Structure 1
């Protein structure tokens, strides 16, 4: 078996920023444990175990109360690890699943009962082999009430994806803002394209996440802060935030989770914005019922 990847710090710093009561980490993952929840045969990476106990311990360390666990691509369409983590959370976690396009209504209902509130469509070629838009659209029309669709893509295919996104009949949440080039600032081409998408429909949201992935200059990620703060200010009711722990495929550039949390007041400088980003907005998506 190849060496298993460790992409997170075992002892991140404690953040200076104190999240508001009820704060939600709205984008994180679990890996395994592999002995109980094997990884997909199609997985593009093989991580070390990062199960719910480690996730909830980190959450406590960072000052958060709740989590949204997004199905990691290494687990494919078997959502058992995500469902197990939600079940162990004492109602402090919800989830986003990845499903086979042929998923049945009974299977979707079971996911709903397990705390899933959305599905994720991944268009990153380095992570998935096939992303059939027509079949994804069919699934999006059959979702349980109150669910949304999360879409992960890179900025250079946003124009290609626009007809697909426009046809999705439920709210859409853009993972990591569609990975824009933040080095060009808030007026850069990628950020302008994202704004055009957001302006097209009130039910399109974004995750103000992953400075470690998007800002090549590294920590403290000044370009990310400069590019994203105006976006949060202009769309305060349609943004959420998350750590992205345990940071899939970031083994060569593991971010300090405490520093990620300290980005929050730089992109949401007021108490009102912080509460919307961390509490009110993710509650509407994940705890409304």
Structure 2
């Protein structure tokens, strides 16, 4: 499954969310002063402190997200992944805050944070961490839903492709005496139309009367890679063609096996000059496949 967020999305989210959160937290939580106040000064030390802490916590969480994606994909067991992510990421966020917050406060402000400020920062950090983790979990859930949907569609398409259909080149439906035969193309030698009926000649020599009155319906459905209409009477399968000879006036004589009559070695079929070139192309292409 695709990861919940890309590196580009991660960078964009950091560039937008972290400065905004640092700006809000430094004013609302720590200094409680705003630009319209008379004695207002931009709380740069607190802004940089929150910025550093959030960036560090964000980085830790992202790295844990990536690691869990490889070890415990979200779509495999979402409930377990959420529980593990909340515990592991929550503890990692807390330890990161305990280390980075006092050091950042000392670097930017020149003194260690008071206990009250430290507790306030811990609450702010925990709140932000909860929001961030909750946002990514929600994103994972949405992606998982789409992943399951795409997987179901792909599986359905695969089953449809693998399932032999009546019009598939791997399976031929032939209507015979109010019933249907399901045959492989290689089982069919040719179809022979005579006297208002169409006979099926199988490769083992079996002959059966079909429910068709002409070759038109069969030709429209089957003519292509494996079958070719030699004339108005015969729709031949590739496997039945045993010999092709040139005849007068650019005609062809095609020998099919098995023959319609047992006393003949093969069934001789004349292909007109208008169809001979097309037949040669079909034979060459079919034989090449």
TM-score (norm 2): 0.22
Q: Which structure has the highest helix share of the two?
A: 2
TM-score (norm 1): 0.22
Q: Which structure has the highest strand share of the two?
A: 2
Which structure's relative contact order is higher, taking Cα pairs within 8 Å and 6+ residues apart?
Answer: 1
